[in-house]
Amino acid sequence: MSFTNLQDHEILAWLREEDGARVRELWQAADAVRAEVVGPQVHLRGLIEISNYCCRECAYCGLRAPARDVARYRMTADEILAAARQAVSFGYGTVVMQAGEDYGITREALAGTIRRIKAETPLAVTLSMGERPEEDLAAWREAGADRYLLRFETSDAELYRRIHPTPPGRAHRDRIAVLPVLRKLGYEVGSGVMIGTPGQTVASLARDIALFRALDLDMIGEGPFIAHPDTPLGGGAPRTAPEGEQVPDSARMTCSVLALTRLVCPEANIPSTTALATVDPIAGHEQGLRCGANVVMPNLTPGRYRALYSIYPDKEGIHDDPQVFHERLLARLHALGREPGAGPGNRIRRTAAG
């Protein structure tokens, strides 16, 4: 099996590979492509979780609307600006504002916050606000937002419907359909999937990876599914795929998916996610960075809100002070022979000859 121009059946074969030495070859091939195409820079994106209100009922997420025990918060513009200034002080080139799908964050309010960040800092701005109407997405782009993240979670239509019930009064979700809208508006477009969601088959995950290539994504976020006990997929016995077909929610599978993603989308910005560091806190972010990833998203959410953004339990680094996390991360990057990226860290595009 070669590592270039991977065909769909080869992606599937790599996902099924059980030989540890072969799996390590895959990871090393992806690391080599990462080094050649995007280099040693690791782009650091300051993550600000600006609200944990949500109107959706995603079956995996601890912030889903029916989760009555979650104390809800919404950051003020001044709090967000303070976190953005902290990102600047650490030398980060981007802030990512993420939230539940919260219509208490109005189109105008967020546009105002984006304008302030763009006027008062040199930061690139990424948004991850769920499936907002096109008018909101357009206004935020107009206000200066550069990028938008919306994971499609799975390309298996049946599983997708099962884990994304449509709440009354909300439009049916089709996250894949939103991606061309984001592209048309001029955003850099990010998507991705969870790995090991109950019911996710290896064959469907192979199709997800092939779809990343077809969509020509600029950013691809992937992390292991982590069961949240207060959700339909967390408590009791969730419906899994047949023996041998269910994707494991392991760090090892996540690393192979990161590697395959780098091989099929060599130019993409690919984070080593907090979810990966959560399932393997010892190896932490490093293992993702050695299997194709080139981005880390340090959490800059103020300490008093951090634990309330509980999409899954026991999030890695939840109690870390941003300064402490930052210094440890720089030391780890140095030990890996990598360096923090400078500037906004947009998706690079190789010339046609590349």
Cβ nearer to ligand SAH, comparing 48 with 226? 226
What is the smallest separation between the CB atom of 64 and ligand SAH, expressed in angstroms?
A: 9
Phi, psi of 125 (to 5 degrees): -120, 125
Buried (b) or exposed (e) across 133-155, using 16+ Cβ within 10 A?
eeebbbbbbebbbbbbbbbbbbb
Cβ nearer to ligand SAH, comparing 84 with 226? 226
Q: Which of 59, 84, 101, 47 is nearest to 232 (CA)?
A: 59
Cβ nearer to ligand SAH, comparing 79 with 101? 101
What is the smallest separation between the CB atom of 29 and ligand SAH, expressed in angstroms?
A: 26
Cβ nearer to ligand SAH, comparing 60 with 305? 60
Cβ nearer to ligand SAH, comparing 64 with 338? 64
What is the smallest separation between the CB atom of 208 and ligand SAH, expressed in angstroms?
A: 12
Instruction: Give the residues lining the site for ligand SAH (CB under 6 A).
Output: 60-61, 98, 100-101, 128, 130, 150-151, 153, 194, 223, 225-226, 228, 275, 311-312
Q: Strand, helix or coil at 108? A: helix
What is the smallest separation between the CB atom of 27 and ligand SAH, expressed in angstroms?
A: 21
In sequence order, the β-bridge partners of residue 98 are 49, 128
What is the smallest separation between the CB atom of 273 and ligand SAH, expressed in angstroms?
A: 8
| Spatial contact of 26 and 16, defined as CB atoms under 8 Å apart | no
| Spatial contact of 181 and 137, defined as CB atoms under 8 Å apart | yes
What is the smallest separation between the CB atom of 174 and ligand SAH, expressed in angstroms?
A: 13
Sequence letter at residue 275: A
β-pairing, 41-51 vs 339-340, is parallel
In sequence order, the β-bridge partners of residue 189 are 148
